[in-house]
Structure 1
Amino acid sequence: MEIKVIEASQTWQIRHEVMWPNEPFEFVQLEEDNSGYHFGVFDGELLVSIVSCFIEGKEMQFRKLATLENHQGKGIASHLLKYILDFAKSNNIEKVWCNARTNKKSFYEKAGFIDTYKTFTKAGQEFTIMELKT
Structure 2
Amino acid sequence: MVKGIQITQSANPNLVNSIWLIDDASEQARCLAAASQYEADQVVALAELGEYESRELNVQAPPVREGGQHLNVNVLKRETLEKVMQARERIEAGEASNDDYNVLSENAQLTIRVSGYAVRFNSLTLEQQKDVITRTFTQSL
Q: TM-score, normalised by structure 2?
A: 0.24
Which structure is larger by alpha-carbon Rg, 1 or 2? Answer: 2
Higher strand share: 1
Higher helix share: 1
Q: Which has the higher contact order (CA 8 A, sep 6+)?
A: 1
Q: TM-score, normalised by structure 1?
A: 0.25
